[in-house]
């Protein structure tokens, strides 16, 4: 089988650069992160030293419809709190 000619190599390199530029522009124009970080207050401080999954098990003790800090009705799934609300 015959190898690529230098013309084909230039075309493939050019397509690769265009693809990389497109990915870069897509990421550059991404909207800023708007989700609030986990607050560093006395209520949440103990969760900073815990593993994410371990800490998430306790979120619903306060963040439930009858709790101290209920979540809005349109809040996304409540089982992965620290997926969006990062530890600051």
Q: What is the pLDDT of residues 2-36, one digit of tens each?
A: 678 999 999 999 999 999 999 999 999 999 888 88
Does the pTM surpass 0.85? The reply is: no
Q: How far apart are CA 7 and CA 33, in angstroms?
A: 43
pLDDT at 70 over 70: yes
């Amino acid at each position: 089988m015959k190898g690529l000619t230098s013309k084909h190599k230039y075309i493939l390199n050019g397509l690769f650069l265009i693809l990389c530029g497109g990915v870069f522009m897509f990421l550059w124009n991404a909207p800023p992160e708007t989700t609030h970080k986990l607050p560093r207050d006395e209520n949440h401080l103990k969760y900073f030293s815990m593993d994410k999954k371990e800490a998430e098990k306790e979120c619903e003790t306060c963040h439930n419809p009858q709790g101290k800090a209920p979540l809005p009705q349109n809040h996304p799934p409540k089982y992965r709190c620290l997926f969006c609300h990062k530890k600051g």
